Amino acid sequence: MAQQLVDRRDLDFVIWEQMEAESLLKNDIYKEFNKKTCDMIITEARTLAIKEMLPTLAEGDKQGIRFDKGSVKVPDCFHAPHRLILEGEWQSLPMDPGLGGQGAPGFVSAACAEYFLAANYALYVYASMGNGTAKMIDLYGTPEQKAAYIPNIISGKWGGTMLLTESMAGSDVGALETSAKKNDDGTYTLSGNKIFITNGEHDLCENIIHPVLARIEGDPPGTKGISIFIVPKYFVNEDGSLGDRNDIVCTGVEEKHGLHGSATASMALGTKGRCIGYLLGTPREGMKVMFNMINGARMATGLQALSNASAAYLLAVNYARERIQGRNLEDFKDQSAPSVPIIKHPDVRRNLLWMKSYVNGMQSFFHYLTSCATRGALGETEEERERFADLFDMLTPSIKDYLAVRGHEVCIQAIQVYGGAGYCQDYPVEQYARDCKITSIYEGTSGIQAMDMLARKLGKKEGRVFMSLLEEMNKTIARAREIEGPSALAADVEAAANRLGEISMAMGKRALSPQFKLAFAHSLPFLNVIGDTIMAWMLLWRATVAATQLANGTKKKDVAFYLGQIKTAEFYIKTILPEVMGKMNAIEAGCPAALEIDDDGFGGL
Ligand SMILES: Cc1cc2nc3c(=O)[nH]c(=O)nc-3n(C[C@H](O)[C@H](O)[C@H](O)COP(=O)(O)OP(=O)(O)OC[C@H]3O[C@@H](n4cnc5c(N)ncnc54)[C@H](O)[C@@H]3O)c2cc1C
DSSP assigned state of 217: T
Q: Are 362 and 307 in contact (CB under 8 A)?
A: no
- Ligand 1, pocket residues at CB < 6 Å: 162-165, 170-171, 196-198, 256, 259, 264, 438, 441-442, 444-445, 447-448, 451
Positive or negative CA dihedral for 382, 385, 388, 392? negative
Which whole number is the average pLDDT over 555-584?
Answer: 97
Per-residue pLDDT tens digits for 504-537: 999 999 999 999 999 999 999 999 999 999 999 9
Ligand 1 atom 38, closest CA: 171
Ligand 1 atom nearest the C-alpha of 445 is 47
Per-residue pLDDT tens digits for 444-457: 999 999 999 999 99
Query: 378-414 in b/e burial notation, b at 16+ Cβ within 10 A?
Result: bbeeeeeeebbbbbbbbbbbbbbbbbbbbbbbbbbbb
pLDDT of 75 reads: 98
User: Looking at 52, 430, 443, 570, which residue is catalytic?
Assistant: 443
CB hemisphere CA count around 373 (13 angstroms): 18
Q: Give the mean pLDDT of 217-245.
A: 97
- Concerning whether 494 is annotated as a catalytic residue, the answer is no
Q: In sequence order, what DSSP letters do the residues of 277-300 get, joined into one string?
A: EEE-SSTT-HHHHHHHHHHHHHHH
- Strand, coil or helix: 147: helix
pLDDT value at 1 more than 80: no
Are 241 and 163 in contact, with CB atoms under 8 Å apart? no
How does strand 242-245 pair with strand 234-236? antiparallel
Q: What is the reported pLDDT for 74?
A: 98
35, 246, 265, 434, 583 from 530: Cα distances, Å: 33, 46, 35, 26, 11
For residue 274, what pLDDT is reported? 97
pLDDT at 435: 98
**Nearest protein CA to atom 32 of ligand 1, as residue:** 171
Task: Using the mean position of ligand 1's atoms as its centre, give its distance from the Cα of residue 170 in Å.
Answer: 5
- pLDDT at 171 (0 to 100): 97
Nearest CA to ligand 1 atom 11: 164
Burial 180-205 (b: 16+ CB within 10 A, else e): beeeeeeebbbbbbbbbbbbbbbebb
Pocket test for ligand 1, best of 65, 163, 171 (most atoms within 8 A of CB): 171
Mean pLDDT over the full length of the chain: 97
| Side-chain half-sphere CA neighbours of 131 within 13 A | 27
Q: What percent of the chain has pLDDT over 70?
A: 100
- How far apart (Å, rounded) are the C-alpha atoms in residues 274 and 271? 8
pLDDT score for 528 = 98
Work out the average pLDDT over 232-259: 97
pLDDT of residue 526: 98
Ligand 1 pocket check: which of 126, 165, 449 to mutate, most ligand atoms within 8 Å of Cβ?
165
Q: What pLDDT does residue 332 have?
A: 86
> pLDDT tens digits, residue range 181-212?
999 999 999 999 999 999 999 999 999 999 99
Q: How far is the CA of 441 from the centre of ligand 1 (A)?
A: 6
CA–CA separation, 148 vs 133, rounded Å?
13
Give the E-state strand segments of 414-468 in sequence order: none
165 CA distance to ligand 1 middle (Å): 8
Q: What secondary structure letter does DSSP report for 338?
A: P
Ligand 1 pocket test target in 133, 301, 442 with most atoms within 8 Å of CB = 442
507's enclosing H/E stretch is helix 487-511
Mean pLDDT throughout 268-274? Answer: 98
Distance 118 CA to ligand 1 centre (A): 24
Q: If you measure from the C-alpha of residue 168 to the centroid of ligand 1, how many angstroms do you get, rounded to a whole number?
A: 10
Mean pLDDT of 472-501: 97
